[in-house]
Amino acid sequence: MRLRFAAACSVIVCGLSFGLNAPAQAAPKAEATEKVVHSAAFFSGDWSSMGTVVTIVANRAAGPASRLIVHLPQNLQKSGQDTFSLSQKSADEWSGIQNNVTLSFKLVSDNFGILSMVGDKPDHHFEMPLSRM
Protein backbone atom coordinates (compact mmCIF):
# COMPACT_ATOMS: atom_id res chain seq x y z
CA MET A 1 0.00 0.00 0.00
CA ARG A 2 2.75 2.42 0.96
CA LEU A 3 4.67 1.44 -2.15
CA ARG A 4 1.71 2.25 -4.38
CA PHE A 5 1.15 5.54 -2.57
CA ALA A 6 4.83 6.50 -2.93
CA ALA A 7 4.76 5.62 -6.64
CA ALA A 8 1.60 7.67 -7.18
CA CYS A 9 3.08 10.65 -5.33
CA SER A 10 6.31 10.48 -7.34
CA VAL A 11 4.32 10.45 -10.61
CA ILE A 12 2.34 13.50 -9.48
CA VAL A 13 5.47 15.37 -8.32
CA CYS A 14 7.31 14.58 -11.57
CA GLY A 15 4.31 15.68 -13.60
CA LEU A 16 4.14 18.98 -11.73
CA SER A 17 7.87 19.62 -12.09
CA PHE A 18 7.69 19.03 -15.85
CA GLY A 19 4.76 21.44 -16.02
CA LEU A 20 6.67 24.12 -14.11
CA ASN A 21 9.69 23.90 -16.40
CA ALA A 22 7.61 24.13 -19.56
CA PRO A 23 7.69 27.50 -21.31
CA ALA A 24 4.66 29.67 -20.94
CA GLN A 25 2.13 29.28 -23.71
CA ALA A 26 1.56 32.81 -24.95
CA ALA A 27 -0.83 33.90 -27.62
CA PRO A 28 0.73 34.03 -31.07
CA LYS A 29 2.22 37.38 -31.99
CA ALA A 30 0.00 39.56 -34.10
CA GLU A 31 1.14 40.39 -37.59
CA ALA A 32 2.99 43.67 -37.83
CA THR A 33 0.53 46.36 -38.74
CA GLU A 34 1.00 47.76 -42.19
CA LYS A 35 1.63 51.45 -42.72
CA VAL A 36 -1.62 53.31 -43.22
CA VAL A 37 -1.70 55.52 -46.30
CA HIS A 38 -3.85 58.56 -45.61
CA SER A 39 -5.69 60.44 -48.31
CA ALA A 40 -4.93 64.10 -48.92
CA ALA A 41 -8.17 65.10 -47.19
CA PHE A 42 -6.84 63.60 -43.93
CA PHE A 43 -4.22 66.37 -43.75
CA SER A 44 -6.64 69.26 -44.33
CA GLY A 45 -7.02 71.82 -41.59
CA ASP A 46 -5.00 74.12 -39.41
CA TRP A 47 -1.71 72.91 -37.97
CA SER A 48 0.08 74.96 -35.32
CA SER A 49 3.46 75.36 -33.67
CA MET A 50 3.67 77.77 -30.75
CA GLY A 51 0.97 80.05 -32.12
CA THR A 52 2.05 80.02 -35.77
CA VAL A 53 -0.78 78.54 -37.83
CA VAL A 54 -0.10 76.72 -41.10
CA THR A 55 -3.19 75.93 -43.18
CA ILE A 56 -3.24 72.77 -45.30
CA VAL A 57 -5.91 72.26 -47.95
CA ALA A 58 -6.37 69.15 -50.11
CA ASN A 59 -7.52 69.12 -53.70
CA ARG A 60 -10.29 66.76 -54.79
CA ALA A 61 -8.13 64.54 -56.98
CA ALA A 62 -7.29 61.02 -55.88
CA GLY A 63 -4.23 58.90 -56.43
CA PRO A 64 -1.09 60.38 -57.99
CA ALA A 65 -2.90 63.61 -58.90
CA SER A 66 -3.76 64.46 -55.29
CA ARG A 67 -2.04 67.50 -53.85
CA LEU A 68 -1.74 69.31 -50.55
CA ILE A 69 -1.83 73.09 -50.79
CA VAL A 70 0.13 74.60 -47.89
CA HIS A 71 -0.50 78.24 -46.93
CA LEU A 72 2.35 79.67 -44.86
CA PRO A 73 1.91 82.59 -42.45
CA GLN A 74 3.93 85.77 -43.01
CA ASN A 75 6.73 84.84 -40.60
CA LEU A 76 7.43 81.55 -42.46
CA GLN A 77 7.49 82.99 -45.97
CA LYS A 78 11.29 82.78 -46.11
CA SER A 79 11.35 82.43 -49.89
CA GLY A 80 8.72 85.08 -50.55
CA GLN A 81 6.08 82.47 -51.39
CA ASP A 82 3.01 81.98 -49.26
CA THR A 83 1.60 78.91 -51.03
CA PHE A 84 3.19 75.57 -51.93
CA SER A 85 1.75 72.56 -53.73
CA LEU A 86 2.94 69.22 -52.32
CA SER A 87 2.64 65.78 -53.90
CA GLN A 88 2.81 62.48 -52.06
CA LYS A 89 6.31 60.94 -51.92
CA SER A 90 5.62 58.07 -49.51
CA ALA A 91 2.86 56.85 -47.20
CA ASP A 92 3.47 59.67 -44.72
CA GLU A 93 5.53 62.28 -46.58
CA TRP A 94 4.50 65.02 -49.01
CA SER A 95 6.92 67.29 -50.81
CA GLY A 96 6.98 70.01 -53.45
CA ILE A 97 9.60 72.14 -55.22
CA GLN A 98 8.90 75.68 -56.36
CA ASN A 99 11.55 78.25 -57.39
CA ASN A 100 14.48 76.20 -55.99
CA VAL A 101 12.74 75.83 -52.63
CA THR A 102 11.63 72.41 -51.36
CA LEU A 103 8.85 72.31 -48.79
CA SER A 104 8.01 68.95 -47.25
CA PHE A 105 5.55 67.73 -44.65
CA LYS A 106 6.12 64.43 -42.87
CA LEU A 107 3.37 62.93 -40.73
CA VAL A 108 4.78 61.44 -37.52
CA SER A 109 1.43 60.50 -35.96
CA ASP A 110 -2.21 61.29 -36.74
CA ASN A 111 -1.96 64.65 -34.98
CA PHE A 112 1.73 65.52 -35.29
CA GLY A 113 3.94 66.32 -38.27
CA ILE A 114 7.14 68.09 -39.27
CA LEU A 115 7.21 70.88 -41.84
CA SER A 116 10.61 71.58 -43.36
CA MET A 117 11.90 73.99 -45.96
CA VAL A 118 15.20 73.70 -47.83
CA GLY A 119 16.28 76.28 -50.36
CA ASP A 120 19.35 77.60 -52.09
CA LYS A 121 19.75 80.56 -49.73
CA PRO A 122 20.74 80.37 -46.04
CA ASP A 123 17.47 81.86 -44.80
CA HIS A 124 15.43 79.28 -46.76
CA HIS A 125 16.00 76.54 -44.18
CA PHE A 126 13.74 75.59 -41.30
CA GLU A 127 12.25 72.53 -39.68
CA MET A 128 9.19 73.02 -37.54
CA PRO A 129 7.05 70.53 -35.59
CA LEU A 130 3.31 71.01 -36.13
CA SER A 131 0.32 69.77 -34.17
CA ARG A 132 -3.20 69.53 -35.48
CA MET A 133 -5.49 72.22 -34.05
β partners of residue 130: 113
pLDDT at residue 21 above 60?
Answer: no
Look at residue 73 and tell me if it is in a domain. yes
Look at residue 25 and tell me if it is in a domain. no
> How far is it, in rounded angstroms, from Cα 45 to Cα 42?
9
Q: Can you give the residue range of the structural domain that contains 91?
A: 42-132
Q: What is the pLDDT of residue 20?
A: 55
Q: What's the total number of domains in the chain?
A: 1
pLDDT at residue 98 above 80?
Answer: yes
Averaged pLDDT, 78-90: 88
Residue 52 CA neighbour count, 13 Å, CB half: 13
Look at residue 78 and tell me if it is in a domain. yes
Look at residue 105 and tell me if it is in a domain. yes
Average pLDDT, the chain: 81
The band of 115, judged by pLDDT with boundaries at 50, 70 and 90, is very high
Averaged pLDDT, 110-116: 93
The band of 59, judged by pLDDT with boundaries at 50, 70 and 90, is confident
pTM for this prediction:
0.69
> How far is it, in rounded angstroms, from Cα 96 to Cα 94?
7
Look at residue 16 and tell me if it is in a domain. no
> Is the sign of the CA dihedral 123, 99, 118, 61 positive or negative?
positive
Which CATH number characterizes residue 86's domain?
A: 2.40.128
